[in-house]
Amino acid sequence: MSKFRWSTMKVYVTGMKGGTGKTLVALYMLFKFKQMGFRVDFKDLTENMTGKNYLEGRGFRRDPKPELVIYDMRPSGVDNSQDVTVLVTEVPFLPLETLRVVGKKILVLNKMSPFPDKFMEQVDVVKGLVPNFDSVVLVPFNGGLFNWELQREPALDKLALIVAGKSQERLVFPFVEKFDS
């Protein structure tokens, strides 16, 4: 029996700009959902198939009856049949992102500056976007993740909880376990 009210939830992880961490975010969510006890499948619809190759190299086995299917893809493939769209980008590339989708929309701003002054400048740019999304998740630059070491990242853990419907946070800050607004 699925943990969701529908049989299989579709999660599209997308974004216009290459190199912003879409595949990494998709893979992180895959492993986090499995850790949470969900049956998950992963569909790599990108040109370079990085996610598929990563999983094959680690002996990943697909769940026969997934509760969640994570799609790693370019925005041109988004068809509004998904339940959740996770738009992954970086602050400098926000003007490129004009994706209009139906359903739950989550913005993930990846590789946020670890330096307080620069981070606050980036937050100022992002503040106005919060009303346009169901949630906005700010992910700090993480050298381990950048080098494909899927280590724990609290902001991405919160993203998985939001996608799974176990959290309603609208704005997730890095470095903060609980943020009261």
Query: Residue 1 domain-assigned?
Result: no
β-bridge pairing 135-140 and 9-14 = unpaired
Dihedral sign for Cα 72, 76, 79, 85, please.
positive
Query: Residue 181 domain-assigned?
Result: no
Query: Residue 111 domain-assigned?
Result: yes
- Other beta carbons within 10 angstroms of residue 83's beta carbon come to 18
Mean pLDDT for the chain overall:
84
Dihedral of CA atoms 156, 14, 69, 139 in degrees, nearest 10, equals: 0
Range of the domain at 168: 9-172
CA 57 to chain centre: 22
What per-residue confidence (pLDDT) applies to 6?
54
Q: Which amino acid makes up residue 141?
A: F
- pLDDT, greater one: 78 or 15: 15
Could you give the number of structural domains in the chain? 1
Under the banding of pLDDT at 50, 70 and 90, the label for residue 1 is very low
Helix (H, G, I), strand (E, B) or coil at 166: coil
The string of pLDDT tens digits covering residues 80-139 is 666 898 999 988 888 777 656 667 789 999 989 888 899 999 999 888 888 888 999 999
Query: Residue 122 domain-assigned?
Result: yes
Tokens representing residue 61 in the block: 């086995």
The string of pLDDT tens digits covering residues 142-170 is 777 777 777 788 999 999 999 999 999 99
φ, ψ of residue 139 in degrees (nearest 5): -110, 125
What per-residue confidence (pLDDT) applies to 3?
56
- pLDDT, greater one: 28 or 4: 28
CA–CA dist 53, 35 (Å, integer): 21
- Tell me the Cα Rg of the chain: 15
φ, ψ of residue 31 in degrees (nearest 5): -70, -35
**CA-based end-to-end distance of the chain:** 36
Under the banding of pLDDT at 50, 70 and 90, the label for residue 60 is confident
Under the banding of pLDDT at 50, 70 and 90, the label for residue 33 is very high
Query: Residue 97 domain-assigned?
Result: yes
Query: Residue 106 domain-assigned?
Result: yes
- CATH (domain of 162): 3.40.50.300
Residue 5 predicted with pLDDT over 70:
no
Query: Residue 177 domain-assigned?
Result: no
Query: Residue 35 domain-assigned?
Result: yes
